[in-house]
Structure formats: structure tokens, C-alpha cells
Structure 1
């Protein structure tokens, strides 16, 4: 198996891990979400430092501090916008806006010259976006409120832009030799900066006193999310970013609602019917086309 195939396989595992983490996050809905995210990042950094500290380029130098700060700001921007918007808009509106992330990553990547101009990749991304949107509509089911674009939607869209910028900035820093080749080091410092920024935001917007009631079960779930959902998923993303374009990496987000559908099928088989089929087929087709394009690019290269 070549490096590109391993990168694609790693991102498929990324989608699986992210999809499986949502039910676990739901078990912690009584805790302040921003401070909970900061704790997850701290746990992730505690796990990663044992691998990262042995790297020659572990300690950032000069401009690297600024790049890691920007990467951390991207994480803080997305999670901050997501948790704030959750109280000001609908889940369907957020799911609809989130499908724009790969296309945004492609456009921003073009501006920073880490993506190639063409029509195939945008077409595949649009296909995957339609599929992911179809899955979101199938999950919403029944009458849904109109999709207006108000303050909540605007804030979450800015969060989507921040999410799209994360792999673009990583790829830009790598392509110009301003970030180390070690995916573990890049993951550690971006999460460390993200933990500081998200934590500061949580201290301003949330009540730290709500963490006093943290039980051993909650602590175990946070450790699981920190190591399995944050450390591993961001490492997989950083590793794939070195080989794949930012748009291709973020396109694997289209598989997350597909994983959620499979979980729903296991838990409540009666909820699954033909309405899930069009979106599922479009997402799987888009992923297949991405793999095919990746193989063709490697042959040409």
C-alpha cells in the first residue's frame, strides 16, 4: 500500500472516529462545552507529548509560533462558533452550512497556492456536499423550519471558514518549510494553542464552577475523547494533509453523517428507510471519485 492510499485510509478512520465520538459527547451535555473542549485538547496534548518531545524539531522557532497560534485560532474559532450558534440556529442549518467546508478549503487553498485550479475536484466536492446534505435532511425528517440566514448562521459560517483554514495553513506551512515534517509535533502544538484559546474563551463565556460536579465517569469519557477523538483524529488529519490537498482532506467530513446513519441503524433500525439512500449513494460515489483522482494524480506525478 502506497503513502497516498494510507493517507486516504487514515482519513476514512478519521471519519469513523469523529462519527463515533458524537454519542459520547452527548453523554457530557451537562458540562460547559468550551471548557470541555479545552480539557479534551489538554488530555490530547498530554498523550501526544510522549511521542512529540523526542522529535528534533519539537520546540517551535520564530515564525512557527505564529503559525501554531493561527492553527490554534482556527480550532478556537470553529468550536467557539459551533457552540454559540447551537443556541441561535437549528441543527439542520448548521449541517447545511458545514458542507461548504471542503469547497471553502479549496478556494482558500487556491489563494495560498496549495491547491490546483481545475474542475474535477470542485465537481466531486459538490457531489459529496449534496450527499451530506441529503443525509442531514433525512436525519431531520418531517417538517423542518425554513433555512434563514441570520446571526446564528453567520457566526457558524465564520466558524466553517476557520475550520477550512486549518488544513490550508498546515499545507502552506509544510510546502514552504515553515512547519516541521513530523505530524505529531504539528498536532501537539496546534492543539496546545487551541486549548489555550478555547479555554480562555470558555472562562469568559461559561462558568468554571460547573466543572465541580465532574465525576469519574465523566473524567473517563473526557480521557477517551481527548486521546481517541482529539489526539488521534487531528494526527490523522495532519498526516494526510502532508500528502493530500486541504479540500480532499476536509471532504472526508462528508462521511461523518454516513457513519452517524450506520450508528442510527444499529440503535434504531426502524428509523432507516429509503430516504437515506440518495445521500448515502452520493457520498460513497464522491469518496470513490476522490480515491480514483488521487491514484491518477500519483501516476501522473
Structure 2
């Protein structure tokens, strides 16, 4: 999950730079197709071949594919207007929502320390989103992009415990392939108009860089990582690593030549890191 948080950060920085250059449904459909191809190739290369029941109850893959697809479409829609750091801060609200869905679906109980950590992390994320403006925070004033992405993060938070709820012992890579394939089919049907309207041959280079990155690293790899971790950790603890994402994004934006955000957001970053430390204690 530490690797997951770093890989996800790259999708924010690249997504901000390409979100307005291609329709969200088109790029998300393409990323699912490419990611499914990557995972399929990995499975074929594995020796011995993974075991399990990949075709058992395929409706599970359809449901998970729909949930994960909704997250990525809403993410790119939100990144049209939301800054990368703010979007990453919104993403850190997923542990709170994931804890709720974990209780709803799996009756996973929360300790007092975990509740304190999630509250601290949520406050830190809100501090970053509202850039330390307490008045705006009190009025819940934030941009359309952040609002759209917050809805998307609800689907991501639901995905984590849903994987555990629906798991029947399949190999993580095999089950991930089923989820990505189902998502690719659903997105192709739903976004066919946008896919046909996209001038794929003349897309800017940054769009192709983003597409390859999100397909290989922020889709195929992270989906396997979440699948693996979800079967071994409580849902809230899995998503706790997202608290590191804003810090990764700030560092990456600095490497890409962007100015560092003002010191006003540092208390929020510190709060999310402290929340992570609390959640990871045994």
C-alpha cells in the first residue's frame, strides 16, 4: 500500500495536465483495455499458471468493474478544474468512507484509536482542500472539480470492502483481470460516442504518457496491490496509506517545475501523516 500511494500520486499530476485534452470516458475506457492487456500478459507469463475459479459468478467482476470505472471517470472529470494537490487531498477522505462501507458490508469494527486517526486525517485533508481558509471550510466552499472527484472517491471507498465481500479465493491477478475486462466492456458501451469522436492519431503526447502511466501503474499495478492488501488488512487500514498521497503529489509537482504550495497547508499535511502513523500502529 506504500507503493500504491506513490503510484496513485503520479496519476494526479499527469491527469491535471491531460484532463481537458480528452473525454474522461474515452481515456478511462482505453486505460482499462490497456490495463487488462497488461494483467493478461502477466498471467500468461506466470509459471505455473495461477489457480482459482476466475469464471465463477462473473457478475462479481461486472459489479466491481462498474464501481471502479465510475471512480476513474469522475476522477478525470474532476481534474479538469481541480488542482492536483487538492484532488489528492480529496482522495485522503476515502479511509473515512471506506471504514463506513467496511462496517456496512463486513461489520468491521473500529477501535477508538482508529476513529481518532481517521478524524485527524479527515481534518488534515479538509485543511489542504480549503487551503487553510477556516471561513471557507465552515461554509464548505470548494470547487466543482473537488466535488465531482469526492463523488468518485465514494466509489473507490466502496470498492475496497466490496472486494473482500465478494472474494471466493481466486488468484489476485486473475480476479483483477476479470474486473478490468468487465470495466473495459462497460466503459466501451457507455462511452462509445466519446471514443468514436476522439482523434486518437492526433492526441498530444502528454495524453499518451498519461494513458500509458494510468493503465500500467495506476490501474493494473494498483488494482493488484489493493486486491492483495484488502484480503489481509481491514478496509480502513488499507486506505490509510492514501494519507501519504498529497505529500507525494507535492513532491512530484515540484519535480515537474511547479512552485511549492504555501506553508498554510503544512498543518494539514502533518495531520494526515500523523493519522497514518496512528492507523499503522498494532
Number of aligned residue pairs:
275
In structure 1, the partner of 2:196 is 208
Q: How does 1:178-197 map to 2 (within 5 A)?
A: 178-180=168-170, 182-197=171-186
Contact 2:86 2:129 in 1 (8 A): no
Alignment of 1:70-85 (within 5 A): 70-84=63-77
Secondary structure (helix, strand or coil) at the match of 1:59 reads coil
In 2: Cα distance, 1:223 partner to 1:138 partner: 31
How many Å apart are 1:222 and its aligned residue? Answer: 2.4
Instruction: State whether residues 42 and 192 of structure 1, in contact with CA within 8 Å, keep that contact through their aligned partners in structure 2.
Output: yes
Counterpart for residue 166 of structure 1:
159
1:201 and 1:266 map into 2 onto residues whose CA distance is 37
**Partner SS, residue 201 of structure 2:** coil
TM-score of the two chains, using structure 1 as the length reference:
0.77
Shift of 1:254: 2.0
1:57 to 2:45 alignment: no
1:38 counterpart = 2:39: no
Q: C-alpha distance in 2, partners of 1:267/1:152? A: 22
1:87-131, CA deviations, whole angstroms, 9 ceiling, x for partnerless residues?
Answer: 7x8669967764442122111211222512432222211111222
RMSD over aligned CA atoms reads 3.5
| Aligned twin of 2:218 | 229
What SS is found at the alignment partner of 2:232? coil
Are the counterparts in 1 of residues 54 and 178 from structure 2 also a CA contact under 8 Å?
no
Match of 1:299 in 2: none
Partner residue in 2 for 1:7: none
- Structure 2-normalised TM-score? 0.81
User: Residues 139 and 199 from structure 1, CA distance in 2 versus in 1: closer, same or farther, beyond 3 angstroms?
Assistant: farther
**Please, which moves more after superposition, 21-30 or 212-221?**
212-221
Q: Contact between 1:32 and 1:211, CA under 8 Å: does it hold in 2?
A: no
What CA distance in whole angstroms lies between the structure 2 residues aligned with 1:55 and 1:223? 26
Alpha-carbon distance between aligned partners in 1 of 2:82 and 2:204, rounded to the nearest angstrom: 32
CA separation of 1:117 and 1:290: change in aligned 2, threshold 3 A: closer
Match in the other structure for 1:6: none
1:288 to 2:277 alignment = yes
Aligned to 1:250: 239
Distance 2:203 2:87 in 1: 31
Tell me, what secondary structure is at the counterpart of 2:130? helix
| Alignment check: 8 A CA contact 1:96 1:136 kept | yes
Which residue is equivalent to 1:129? 122
Deviation at 1:158, TM superposition (A): 4.4
Q: Distance in 1 between matches of 2:14 and 2:146?
A: 25
Question: What's the offset of the Cα at 1:83?
Answer: 4.4
**Contact between 1:93 and 1:147, CA under 8 Å: does it hold in 2?**
no
Query: Unaligned regions of 5+ residues in structure 2, if any?
Result: none
Cα pair distance change 1:22/1:108, threshold 3 Å: closer
Residue 109 of structure 1 is matched in structure 2 by 102
More displaced, 15-24 or 35-44? 15-24
Q: Distance in 2 between matches of 1:219 and 1:155?
A: 24
The answer to whether structure 1 residue 19 and structure 2 residue 6 are counterparts is no
